[in-house]
């Protein structure tokens, strides 16, 4: 029974409709929707989502989207999550002039040429095509020059694949990377690893072990909290509207009837 219900829900959201969006957000018209979270709903067709012209944040993680055409009208969109879909062509995003953060990890983008359409987006500062935490990537990421080409293509970018490339923390990251590369280069001679039997560690075992950061967990919890807060505000607005209508109708009933003589 549950499997049947899941299949019906998948079929229901295969194409996005105005009724679905109004039902999920509590808004009376699509132009009032500012945030949409449509994760893992089996969506193939974005349908009327392009009518949400004031949309600022859109999360379409884990669907089956291939055509981004309807997104070309979302000029105010600033945060877009398209990770884990089936996207190979991102040309429609050229029109999203306010886009700042774009997550494309887990799709089928094959070359850096496919990214040229984003060069005109001057506000774009965070791009993700690869996510090692969830093992999401794109074919383009297999190229050895991928990172250098993308950074050259987008000189104003601040974060690539979750790693800060400019600003606070970027210099330390690059310094550590350079030190690591130097150590590796000095450990080999004629392609063979140099052994130093008399060398002893300076510190105890495990001292330099990198502890897994909880930043991703905290960020996800923060997003979920914001989602709940947003839903509470929607419920509050609807409740205020209903109360206002009820008070208005009750006040009309209490008015004394006037008779003309």
Quick check: is 76 in a domain? yes
Instruction: For 57-89, write each residue's pLDDT tens digit.
Output: 999 999 999 999 999 999 999 999 999 999 999
Quick check: is 23 in a domain? yes
pLDDT on residue 170: 55
DSSP reduced 3-state for 195: coil
Quick check: is 114 in a domain? yes
What is the arithmetic mean of pLDDT over 116-133?
Answer: 95
Quick check: is 54 in a domain? yes
CATH number at residue 116: 3.80.10.10
Determine what percent of the chain is predicted with pLDDT higher than 90: 55
Quick check: is 220 in a domain? no
Quick check: is 9 in a domain? no
pLDDT on residue 26: 92
Reply yes or no on whether the pLDDT at 258 is more than 90.
no
Q: How far is CA 41 from CA 15, 16, 59, 83, 235, in A?
A: 10, 10, 11, 13, 23
Determine what percent of the chain is predicted with pLDDT higher than 70: 71
- As a whole number of Å, the CA-based R_g of the chain is 26
Question: Two tokens at 84?
Answer: 């884990």
Could you list the residue range(s) of the whole structural domain that residue 101 is in?
Answer: 18-170
Domain count, the chain: 1
Instruction: For 154-206, write each residue's pLDDT tens digit.
Output: 999 999 999 888 765 555 666 666 666 666 666 556 656 566 566 666 667 76
């Amino acid at each position: 029974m549950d499997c049947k219900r899941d299949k019906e829900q998948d079929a229901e959201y295969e194409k996005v409709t105005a009724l679905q969006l109004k039902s999920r957000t509590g808004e009376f018209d699509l132009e009032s929707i500012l945030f949409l979270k449509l994760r893992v709903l089996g969506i193939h067709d974005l349908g009327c989502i392009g009518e949400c012209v004031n949309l600022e944040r859109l999360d379409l993680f884990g669907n089956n989207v291939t055509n981004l055409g309807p997104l070309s009208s979302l000029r105010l969109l600033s945060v877009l999550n398209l990770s884990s879909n089936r996207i190979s062509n991102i040309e429609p995003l050229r029109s999203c002039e306010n886009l700042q953060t774009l997550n494309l990890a887990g799709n089928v983008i094959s070359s850096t040429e496919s990214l040229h359409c984003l060069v005109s987006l001057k506000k774009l500062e965070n791009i993700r095509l690869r996510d090692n935490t969830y093992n999401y990537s794109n074919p383009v990421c297999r190229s050895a020059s991928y990172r250098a080409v993308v950074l050259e293509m987008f000189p104003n970018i601040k974060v690539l694949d979750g790693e800060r490339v400019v600003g606070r923390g970027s210099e330390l990251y690059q310094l550590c990377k350079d030190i690591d590369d130097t150590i590796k280069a000095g450990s080999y001679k004629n392609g063979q690893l140099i052994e130093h039997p008399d060398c002893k560690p300076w510190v105890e075992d495990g001292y330099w072990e990198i502890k897994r950061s909880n930043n991703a967990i905290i960020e996800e919890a923060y997003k979920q909290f914001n989602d709940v807060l947003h839903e509470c505000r929607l419920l509050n607005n609807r409740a205020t509207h209903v109360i206002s209508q009820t008070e208005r109708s009750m006040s009309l009933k209490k008015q004394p009837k006037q008779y003309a003589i």
